[in-house]
Amino acid sequence: MATPKFSSKSPTIRRILREAAEISNSPSADYTAEPLESDLFEWHFTLKGPPNSVYSNGIYHGRIVLPPTYPLRPPSFRFMTPSGRFEANREICLSISGHHEETWQPAWGVRTALVALRSFMETDARGQLGGLETTDAVRQRLASESPAFKCATCGKTNGEIIKECEERAKEASSCAQEVEIPKELNMGWRDEMGAKKEGESKPEQTSDDAETAQLAEGFVQTAPDADTAANDSLAPQPPAENPNPAPTRTTPLPVPAAQGLVPQAAAQAQAQQARRATDDGVPLWLDRTIVVLVVLLVALVLKIIFAV
């Protein structure tokens, strides 16, 4: 298989092409992986069994599926060759302890994952779902039969692929560097991880889908998390101040009956206000005229009385 040529500005595509070129330019005699010509996100890998184990004579073939958000999320693997350790054609997802793929480190790549997966073959299944418990004799028999396994897509047997890989490694001017397996890197089954997330709310799933769609286009979200933004939007917001407050109507409060002086004072105040309103309507000259007439009338009455 030849490395496909794509022209894209997507960081995901550039990362995949860079990893494919790195594996091709620095081949290893123990493993190899290449993307399909028809799908850049699907790779096929072939690796030797770990040395000094029941798998040492085995050569195993499988598929790698890269997510649209790679390398922000881990690739999934499945062995196509029976090994007696892993169930054939079942997805294996690499993640850190606890099988939380969100904590996958983008610095890890396909080469690191292949080396880790190869080392995981020596671990015990311990009743894990998808892991196979069988005798060493069965695993040794499957290992001896594995070089003849032929992938229909690749069109070559496992033995032929590894032989070409060993020849490229000898011809290469620089051998592939030893890859150190991170201590945090662990293995989990895809369906187990999905079962653990069944209790999550639908809004969280919706936000994950939106994030996946954005990252698939090559954008990395730098804004606050969608869940945090959603919680902030649900929080009570203080009412905005109105620059032009509407006038309010004043309603007098009822006065308790026990306070007898209060109603009287209120009645007197209302009477004074009524008189003031009435007085305000009489002209000043009319008041003076009335006063003069009253004085004259009093003087006339007194004159009549004293004259008698």
List of residues 6+ apart from 159 with CB closer than 8 A = 59, 147, 148
Q: Measure the CA–CA gap between 272 and 159, rounded to whole angstroms.
A: 116
- Cα–Cα dist 260/252, whole Å: 17
Opening angle at CA 263, ends 257 and 266, nearest 5: 150
The C-alpha torsion from 51 through 53 and 56 to 58, rounded to 10°, is -140
CB 19 within 8 A of CB 40: no
Side-chain half-sphere exposure of 229, counting CA atoms within 13 A: 8
Which residues, other chains included, contact 253 with Cβ-Cβ below 8 Å and sequence gap of 6+?
none
The burial class, CB within 10 Å (0-12 / 13-18 / 19+), for 26 is: middle
What are the backbone angles phi and psi of residue 162, rounded to the nearest 5°? -70, -35
**93 catalytic, yes or no?**
yes
Cα separation, 219 vs 243, in Å, equals 41
Report the alpha-carbon distance of residue 259 to residue 83 in Å, rounded: 98
Rounded CA separation 165/167 (Å): 5
Q: Which two tokens stand for residue 61?
A: 């073939």
Q: Choose, from 93, 151, 165, 175, the residue flagged as catalytic.
A: 93
Could you check whether the bond before residue 71 is cis, i.e. omega within 30 degrees of 0?
A: yes
Q: List the catalytic residues.
A: 93
